Structure 1
Amino acid sequence: MNLYSELSPSPRTIMTPGPVEVDPRVLRAMSYPILGQFDPEFTALMNDTMAMLRSVFRTENEWAFPIDGTSRSGIEAVLVSLIEPGDKVLVPIFGRFGYLLQEIAERCGAAVVVLEKSWGEVYDPEEVIAAILREKPDLVAIVHGETSTGRIQPLEAIGKACRELDVLVVVDAVATIGGVPLEVDAWCLDAVIGGTQKCLSVPSGMAPITYNDRAERKIARRKSIERGLRQSGGDSSNDARQISPIRSNYLDLSQLQDYWSPRRLNHHTEMTSMLYALREGLRIVLAEGMETRFARHRLQETALVAGLQAMGLSLYGDARCKLTVVTCVRIPPGVDGESVRSMLLELFGIEIASSFGPLKGEIWRIGTMGYSCSRKNVLHLLGALEAVLVRHGVHIQTGAGVQAAMDIYCS
């Protein structure tokens, strides 16, 4: 007797900072038949994906491909391939994911120098540039869109300063790719990591990355050292040991390059269905048009914010650096934030997020990302949140939030 019921997940309206609802066209693409990883039809899909990633990243880089794994795998692949033990790495932190960059850099053996900004704020680029001049790091690792605080860090001046000073700059753009402007080449960014499960509206499981020839040169140098050590039998007297080989096999960008190059040197078995999903997700982004897509995200943010404020709720953080695709809302005094979230989920099928660290229990985080970023979802959330807050004894003007959002849509 079969003890397990048929899989049937409940339908949800997902308004978190990730994962978000997956576009039905992406789900359909994932159902297509499996191809062998060296089938010419499949390698053509790999080439399509690389070309579309270049367009979405706004880059002419040769290397733009996904790492098989969640977004963190992309971050680790880039950092473990670029950071040698003893390298000085500067990490400007303004939220939870800056600490992740710090931890991974330390695990790579870097001498990490951190800057810390109060949560809810970002850096004036001149603050970071002054630290670069003072510390003279080999590499700067920084988050573009910090979903823990709903803030976005200006990068253009930082990237250009790093280029002038011959410092590599690595950017976590997991939350921003496909949702807000990200100009890899124009901002002089050496390596950038994106995510699939946020503004691209693809399931979690791949991490699109891109890096330029400056980054590739360091990767190639470390690869040649590793080859030399193997040929010398690992002789510790070899001067080449002054440069450390890449310690990971799975996340070694020098090997992954060979896999994604026309040589197709076997490294791992590519995630066929996820590649279908990513390719379709990227196609949808480009078909919509990048500027149109950015405008859609701005419109839904404007309507959501208008509705929340009309209810009498307060937003968290410096409005001047608000991340378009994440809105952080202060939990009203005396309200159990988790009870509100549970009622939204159980009665309305809507999921919003809580937060981390010093903001745990202080704010809700509402995502308007990718396929989830729609008028239907914003209006549904505002109406449901009003009803749930009334149930929790919060005094609000019933209907005001939805009407304020409708004013935006009807203007």
Structure 2
Amino acid sequence: MTHPVNPPARLLMGPGPVNADPRVLRALSTPLVGQYDPVMTGYMNETMALYREVFATTNEATLLVDGTSRAGIEAALVSLVRPGERVLVPVFGRFGHLLAEIALRAQAEVHTIEVPWGQVFPASVVEEAIVRVRPHLLAMVQGDTSTTMLQPLDELGAICAKHGVLFYTDATASLGGNPFEMDAWGLDAATAGLQKCLSGPSGSAPISLSDKAVEVIRGRRRIEAGIREESDEDTGEPVHSNYFDLGMILDYWGPRRLNHHTEATSMLYAARECARIIVDEGRQAVIDRHERAGRAMLAGVRGLGLGVFGDVAHKMNNVVAVEIPDGVDGDAVRGALLQDFGIEIGTSFGPLHGRVWRIGTMGANARLDTVLSTLAALEQVLRRAGARVPHGGGVDAAYSGWSAA
């Protein structure tokens, strides 16, 4: 006999996904309506307006791509880049490699530059690469959870504009919990996901596109048989995807409501509620809350005598990479936290695999009580693993970190 879904209670304190806000879960359970019902199209318009506030933009083309955050990345890259065009990807962690791979699959000529994991790029280094490569598009991760680093973007938009380069960023791990100013920073495209600082489930990818980006997308040839007819104006290379063709998705979300797919209604409800909660609390207040919780967690792990990986001056607010003490089985500690306390923290990838745990404080979990619970549990598990850690050191330090100005 198959039983109903009934997962155990978990406190998800890894790099994502995190626990969804209960209000988002309630939104997911509300009734469906037809995709062209005036109520549904009204929710679509409201969702677009709410995400303009979240992205800090006036871009009309601010909407959702149905799918996980990777769907948003792929839609942006395959729609903005024609085969053979050059794309520059500065890589400072695993997800820079992902952008490069997706651009390669879009048949771009991909150029990468790299810094060691745990560092970020100075703007001058990016500009030097732009001058050398002369790319059509700069594609860059803002916050890479594999290293916990937050790449400064504020100078790059002006650099891209000076050299005639489109500027795209993947803000999946950073949007909502860290400063993000789409218009002020001169971004042409940005994508995200719900499952981190936005306090929702994975499955919907917010995206915002500048007028310049929309012009590039509209220049791609339309080939959807039976709905749109090709015209003499359709001279550009077609997007090599139907589902991720942002030109058609824009037509679906726009006033013409041209059919492209059936909108994932329940996920739209969830995405709308994620943005509504942020706007209701105040965008800057949410960022400040993430900064405070992240500061408390950083102080707490240091209070336990644990090292922290990477350039902490450029760490994301919402995740910290904690160095696993010598002689401690990192996977065993994670297993004990989950089994004995119902708390999940993350492992890592590539050169950091087995070297660090990644502990997140994001979304609805960016709170003092979740920080204290995680640190108290980690202390007990570490003691059982034979590590010598100060009694109450993590919790005491976290209290101080939370209260610091």
Tell me if both proteins adopt one fold, taking TM over 0.5 as the criterion.
yes
> Does 2:240 correspond to 1:247?
yes
Cα distance in 2 for partners of 1:239, 1:68 equals 29
Q: Does 1:396 align with 2:389?
A: yes
Provide the secondary structure at the position in 1 that maps to 2:174: coil
In the alignment, is the contact (CA less than 8 A) between 1:226 and 1:245 conserved in 2? no
Residue equivalent to 1:235? none
Q: Distance in 2 between matches of 1:198 and 1:375?
A: 17
Amino acid at match of 1:63: A
Taking only the aligned residue pairs, the percentage that are identical comes to 51
**Alignment RMSD (CA, Å):** 1.7
CA distance in 2, matches of 1:250, 1:410: 48
Aligned length: 402
Q: Which residue in the other structure is 1:72 paired with?
A: 70
SS at match of 1:396: coil
1:278 equivalent in alignment to 2:271 = yes
Structure 1 residue 398: Cα displacement? 1.4
Q: Would you say 1:288 and 2:281 are equivalent positions?
A: yes
CA drift at 1:216: 1.0
**1:325 has 2:323 as partner:** no
Give secondary structure in 2 for the equivalent of 1:269.
Answer: coil
Out of 355, 359, 379, the residue aligned to residue 366 of structure 1 is: 359
1:76-115 matches, cutoff 5 A: 76-115=74-113
Aligned counterpart in structure 2 of residue 55 of structure 1, from 42, 53, 58: 53
1:193, 1:120 → 2: CA distance?
A: 23
| Letter in structure 2 aligned against 1:13 | L
Unpaired segments ≥5 residues, structure 1: 233-237
Distance of 1:64 and 1:360 partners within structure 2 = 36
- 2:37 is aligned to 39
Amino acid at match of 1:210: S
TM-score (norm: length of structure 1): 0.95
In the aligned structure 2, how far is the partner of 1:367 from the partner of 1:166?
37
Greater mean deviation of Cα atoms: 299-308 or 357-366: 299-308
**Separation in 1, partners of 2:4, 2:153:** 48
Give distance in 2, aligned partners of 1:240 and 1:214: 18
1:182 to 156, 159, 180: 180
> Contact conserved, 1:300 with 1:375, CA < 8 A, in 2?
yes
In structure 2, what is the Cα distance between the partners aligned to 1:409 and 1:225? Answer: 55
- Match for residue 336 of structure 1 among 319, 323, 329: 329
Which one of the candidate residues 375, 378, 394 is aligned to 1:385? 378
Q: Which residue of 1 aligns with 2:144?
A: 146
1:12-66 per-position Cα deviation (integer Å, ceiling 9, x unaligned): 1100111000000111111111111100011000000000010100001110001
Report Cα offsets for 1:132-158 as digits up to 9, x if no partner: 011111111000001000000011111
Aligned-pair CA distance for 1:408: 3.3
Task: Tell me by how many angstroms 1:240 deviates.
Answer: 7.4
Shift of 1:107: 0.7
1:311-344 residue CA offsets vs partner (Å, 9 max, x unmatched): 1000000112111111000000111100000000
More displaced 10-residue stretch of structure 1: 320-329 or 46-55: 320-329
Q: Displacement, 1:239?
A: 12
Are the equivalent residues in 1 in contact too, given 2:222–2:230 (CA < 8 A)?
no
SS at 2:155 equivalent: helix
The C-alpha deviation readout for 1:46-89, integer Å capped at 9, x for no partner, is: 00000001010000111000100000000000100011111011
Task: After TM superposition, give the deviation of residue 305 of structure 1 in Å.
Answer: 1.1
The unaligned stretches of length 5 or more in structure 2 are none
C-alpha offsets along residues 360-398 of structure 1, whole Å, 9 cap, x if unaligned?
000000111110111111000000000000000001111
